[in-house]
Amino acid sequence: MRAPKSFRLHIGIFGKRNAGKSSILNALTHQDVSIVSEVAGTTTDPVEKPMELLPLGPVLFIDTAGIDDTGDLGDKRVGKTRAVFDRTDLGIIVTNFSEWGEYEIQVMEEFKKREIAFVIAFNKTDKFSENLELTSELENLNIKYVFTSATEGTGILELRQLLLQTAPADFINRPSILADLVGPGEAAILVVPIDKEAPKGRLILPQVQSIRDLLDNDSFCMVVKERELRQALSIMNKPPKLIVTDSQAFLKVAADTPPEVPMTSFSILFARFQGDLPEMVRGAMAIDSLKTGDKILIAEACSHHPIGEDIGTVKIPRWLTQYVGGKLKIDSVRGHDFPQDISEYKLIIHCGACMWNRRAMLSRIIKARQAGVPITNYGLTIAFSLGIFERALKVFPAALEVYHSGQNNNQEPF
């Protein structure tokens, strides 16, 4: 089975139209990935290509349309290209010595502002010779570059090497999902409701990833439906180290779990794994200050159509309305669509973003912070609205501390 997209290092390829981005991508992947033509701007949408970049492991190359496009279609392309910055872990600027200019400097500035590691590929070296002044300036700035000719196939190995050297350390040392909570030889119970919203014949990504994380850590794992939890506990000769449930079954699982056994949800695990748990705990505490008529943004990383009692469009709005005691104005967005201006919202509630890389989720958290809007996720919202917040956070002492200090100070948590 392929590595999920969220585990892959996302490498964004940026450059002017016809700088040779698609040719570089093809040379790196040894495949015809994007449409390459002599006509400037052939690539209209970001094209994604997963591959194994040994010894780094699974990566996702994202080939962008040129940011310097103009006109209507161009504007759309520019928007899509900008959104690629949000999920780029490592950037490549493709350019050549005759075209280097304001555009490349702007892309460099954007990378620096966002603290994204990047390298420069001076392409078409079969046509243009080195600008020594420019390369010595880049060396002074400690910016790494390489010479390539995608048509002659030169410099591609060096580019691969440079990408390996420049990959961000936090990609390599990514936090685990729950291996630090359930040690080798210890057991976890995962509670997975099989209702009509559950996809047919398979488990969803956070569940699969959690099972794999436990197995990698030599831990034991029992997977049950919520109705079988009591029985599962009764046949174990020792209580599990942790129970993890789908947030939608929180109340039933909380009722059936002995108080001394820690309990949390997949979604809360993913607030930590994909995002920033303390920040999202602060965000959930903003639910207490919501009033009738406040605007809320619910954002889901997948673009699937909601089925039945969908969590984002039906259940969370219902639980929140009950908690607040009046109607809220709720907007929903899906996929990579996200409003430019979020300042009108009193709270943003995000899904676990299991299909994304961590940087994409962190970008949204940073945007929310910059706009002064609290942000939280589904699991934390549900736990807060149902009154089991503290219990669901017990296994995360730092996050619990954030909650307690917010309460003790009796102040706006954000």
- The answer to whether residue 354 forms part of the interface with ligand SF4 (CB under 6 A) is yes
CB of 225 to ligand SF4, least distance (A): 19
- The answer to whether residue 208 forms part of the interface with ligand SF4 (CB under 6 A) is no
- Nearer to ligand SF4 by Cβ, of 69 and 246: the residue is 246
- The answer to whether residue 204 forms part of the interface with ligand SF4 (CB under 6 A) is yes
Pair type for strands 187-191 and 220-224: parallel
Sheet bearing 242-245, strands edge to edge: 220-224, 187-191, 242-245, 263-265
Q: What do you get for the CA distance between the two ends of the chain, in Å?
A: 42
- Nearer to ligand SF4 by Cβ, of 205 and 287: the residue is 205
- Nearer to ligand SF4 by Cβ, of 86 and 256: the residue is 86
Contacts of 140 (CB under 8 A, 6+ apart): none
Q: What is the pattern of x (binds ligand SF4, CB under 6 A) and - over residues 297-316?
A: ---xxx--------------
Stretch that binds ligand SF4, among 10-18, 133-141, 294-302, 404-412 (CB under 6 A): 294-302
Stretch that binds ligand SF4, among 83-91, 140-148, 275-283, 349-357 (CB under 6 A): 349-357
Contacts of 100 (CB under 8 A, 6+ apart): 131, 134
**What whole-number distance in Å separates Cα of residue 282 and Cα of residue 8?**
29
- Nearer to ligand SF4 by Cβ, of 175 and 199: the residue is 199
3-class DSSP assignment, residue 60: strand
Stretch that binds ligand SF4, among 103-111, 113-121, 153-161, 346-354 (CB under 6 A): 346-354
Residue with tokens 């976890």: 188
CB of 192 to ligand SF4, least distance (A): 14
At position 4, the amino acid (one-letter code) is P
- Nearer to ligand SF4 by Cβ, of 158 and 197: the residue is 197
- The answer to whether residue 365 forms part of the interface with ligand SF4 (CB under 6 A) is no
Sign for the CA dihedral angle at 262, 263, 266, 271 comes to: negative
- The answer to whether residue 333 forms part of the interface with ligand SF4 (CB under 6 A) is no
Stretch that binds ligand SF4, among 126-134, 243-251, 350-358, 395-403 (CB under 6 A): 350-358
Q: What is the DSSP letter of 45?
A: S
Count other C-beta atoms under 10 Å from residue 150's C-beta: 25
**What whole-number distance in Å separates Cα of residue 227 and Cα of residue 192?**
10
User: At 330, which helix (H) or strand (E)?
Assistant: strand 329-334
- Nearer to ligand SF4 by Cβ, of 28 and 301: the residue is 301
- The answer to whether residue 355 forms part of the interface with ligand SF4 (CB under 6 A) is yes
3-class DSSP assignment, residue 14: strand
CB of 301 to ligand SF4, least distance (A): 4
- The answer to whether residue 352 forms part of the interface with ligand SF4 (CB under 6 A) is yes
Of 84, 100, 88, whose CA–CA distance to 138 is shortest?
A: 100
Which residues lie near ligand SF4 (CB under 6 A)? Answer: 204-205, 300-302, 351-355
